[in-house]
Structure 1
Amino acid sequence: MEIFTALAFVVTSPALLGWIVLAALVGMIVGAIPGLTAAAAIAMLLPLTYYMEPLSALAFLYVIGKSGRYGGSIAAILFNTPGTAASAATQIDGYPLAQRGQSSKAMKVATISSIIGDFTGDLLLIAGIGVIAAIALRLGPPELFAVYFAAFVVIGSVIGKSITRGLASAAMGVLLSVVGLDPITAESRFTFGIFELSGGIALVPVMIGIFVLGEVFFQLGNTKVALIHFDDADVSDARTKNRLTWAEYRPCLPHVFRSSLIGAFIGMLPGLGSAIAAFVAYGEGKRRAKNPEKWGNGALEGIAAPEAANNAVSGPSMAPLLTLGIPGSTIGAILVGTFLIHGIQVGPTLFVTSSELVYRLFAAGVIGIGCYGFIGYFGAATVGRLILRVPMKVLYPIIFLTSFVAAYASRGSLFDVWVMVVAGFVGWLMRKLDFNVAALVISFVLARGAEEALRQSLRLSDNGMLIFVQRPVALAFLLLGVAAIFFRARALNRQTTTSLSENA
Structure 2
Amino acid sequence: MEIFVALGAVATDPILMLWVFAAAIIGMVVGAIPGLTASAAIAMLLPLTFYMEPLVALAFLYVIGKSGRYGGSIAAILFNTPGTAASAATQLDGYPLAQQGKASKAMKVATLSSVIGDYTGEILLIVGVGFIAAIALRLGPPELFAIYFAAFVVIGSVIGKSITRGLASAALGVLINMIGIDPISSEERFTFGSFDLTNGISLVPLMIGIFVLGEVFSQLEARGNKVEIVDESDADAKARNRLTWPEFRPCVPHVIRSSFIGSFIGVLPGMGSSIAAFVAYGEGKRRAKDADQWGTGALEGVAAQEAANNAVSGPSMAPLLTLGIPGSTIGAILVGVFLIHGIQIGPTLFITSRELVFNLFACGLIGIAMYGLVGYFGASFVGRFITKIPTDILYPIVFLTSFVAAYASRGNLFDVYVMVAAGFAGWLMKKYDFNAAAFVISFVLAGGAEETFRQSLLLSDAGLLIFVTRPVALAFLVIGIAALFFRARSLSAAAKEASLKDA
Whether TM exceeds 0.5 here: the answer is yes
Q: Give the match for residue 9 of structure 2.
A: 9
Q: Give the match for residue 48 of structure 1.
A: 48
Q: Which residue type is aligned with residue 39 of structure 1?
A: S
Deviation at 1:239, TM superposition (A): 2.1
Deviation at 1:430, TM superposition (A): 1.1
Q: Give the match for residue 94 of structure 1.
A: 94
CA distance in 1, matches of 2:278, 2:150: 24
Q: Which residue type is aligned with residue 185 of structure 1?
A: S
Please tell me whether the aligned partners of residues 100 and 234 of structure 1 are also in contact (alpha carbons under 8 angstroms).
no
SS of the residue aligned with 2:86?
Answer: coil
Q: Give the match for residue 34 of structure 1.
A: 34
Please tell me whether the aligned partners of residues 98 and 230 of structure 2 are also in contact (alpha carbons under 8 angstroms).
no
Mapping of 1:340-359 within 5 angstroms? 340-359=339-358
Please tell me whether the aligned partners of residues 101 and 230 of structure 2 are also in contact (alpha carbons under 8 angstroms).
no
CA distance in 2, matches of 1:50, 1:244: 43
Superposed CA offset, 1:365-414 (max 9, x none): 00000000011001101100110001111111110000000000000010
Q: Which residue type is aligned with residue 467 of structure 1?
A: I
Please tell me whether the aligned partners of residues 104 and 235 of structure 1 are also in contact (alpha carbons under 8 angstroms).
no
CA distance in 1, matches of 2:431, 2:320: 29
CA distance in 2, matches of 1:231, 1:265: 36
Q: Give the match for residue 325 of structure 1.
A: 324
Deviation at 1:231, TM superposition (A): 3.6
Q: Which residue type is aligned with residue 356 of structure 1?
A: E
Q: Which residue type is aligned with residue 109 of structure 1?
A: V
Please tell me whether the aligned partners of residues 103 and 234 of structure 1 are also in contact (alpha carbons under 8 angstroms).
no
Equivalent pairs, count: 503
Mapping of 1:242-257 within 5 angstroms? 242-257=241-256
CA distance in 1, matches of 2:134, 2:233: 51
Say yes or no: does 1:438 pair with 2:442. no
Q: Give the match for residue 214 of structure 1.
A: 214
Please tell me whether the aligned partners of residues 98 and 234 of structure 1 are also in contact (alpha carbons under 8 angstroms).
no
Superposed CA offset, 1:178-231 (max 9, x none): 10011121100111111011111100000000000011101211246x321124
Q: Which residue type is aligned with residue 168 of structure 2?
A: A
SS of the residue aligned with 2:97?
Answer: helix
Please tell me whether the aligned partners of residues 101 and 236 of structure 1 are also in contact (alpha carbons under 8 angstroms).
no
Q: 1:406 to 1:297 in 2, by over 3 A?
A: same
Please tell me whether the aligned partners of residues 326 and 446 of structure 1 are also in contact (alpha carbons under 8 angstroms).
yes
Deviation at 1:11, TM superposition (A): 0.2
Q: 1:237 to 1:189 in 2, by over 3 A?
A: farther
How large is the RMSD of aligned CA atoms in angstroms? 1.0
Q: Give the match for residue 491 of structure 2.
A: 492
Mapping of 1:277-288 within 5 angstroms? 277-288=276-287
Say yes or no: does 1:62 pair with 2:78. no
Q: Give the match for residue 313 of structure 1.
A: 312
CA distance in 1, matches of 2:97, 2:425: 39
Gaps of 5+ in 1: none
Identity among equivalent positions (%) equals 74
Deviation at 1:234, TM superposition (A): 7.0
Q: Give the match for residue 166 of structure 1.
A: 166
SS of the residue aligned with 2:47?
Answer: helix
Q: Give the match for residue 123 of structure 2.
A: 123
Please tell me whether the aligned partners of residues 262 and 309 of structure 1 are also in contact (alpha carbons under 8 angstroms).
yes
Q: Give the match for residue 270 of structure 2.
A: 271
Say yes or no: does 1:473 pair with 2:494. no
Q: Give the match for residue 113 of structure 2.
A: 113
Please tell me whether the aligned partners of residues 55 and 361 of structure 1 are also in contact (alpha carbons under 8 angstroms).
yes
Mapping of 1:408-427 within 5 angstroms? 408-427=407-426
CA distance in 2, matches of 1:148, 1:461: 18
Deviation at 1:232, TM superposition (A): 3.1
Please tell me whether the aligned partners of residues 330 and 442 of structure 1 are also in contact (alpha carbons under 8 angstroms).
yes
Compute the TM-score of the two structures, normalised by the length of structure 2: 0.99
CA distance in 1, matches of 2:374, 2:7: 20
CA distance in 2, matches of 1:234, 1:150: 52
Q: 1:278 to 1:141 in 2, by over 3 A?
A: same
Q: Give the match for residue 188 of structure 1.
A: 188
Q: 1:483 to 1:192 in 2, by over 3 A?
A: same
Say yes or no: does 1:233 pair with 2:229. no
Say yes or no: does 1:293 pair with 2:285. no
Please tell me whether the aligned partners of residues 170 and 443 of structure 1 are also in contact (alpha carbons under 8 angstroms).
yes
Say yes or no: does 1:460 pair with 2:459. yes
Superposed CA offset, 1:33-57 (max 9, x none): 0011000000000000000000000
Please tell me whether the aligned partners of residues 45 and 405 of structure 2 are also in contact (alpha carbons under 8 angstroms).
yes
SS of the residue aligned with 1:62?
Answer: helix
Q: Which residue type is aligned with residue 13 of structure 1?
A: D
Mapping of 1:197-212 within 5 angstroms? 197-212=197-212
CA distance in 2, matches of 1:456, 1:261: 37
Say yes or no: does 1:501 pair with 2:500. yes
Superposed CA offset, 1:433-479 (max 9, x none): 11000000000000000111011111100111111011000011111
SS of the residue aligned with 1:317?
Answer: helix
CA distance in 2, matches of 1:66, 1:438: 17
Q: Which residue type is aligned with residue 304 of structure 2?
A: A
Please tell me whether the aligned partners of residues 72 and 87 of structure 1 are also in contact (alpha carbons under 8 angstroms).
yes
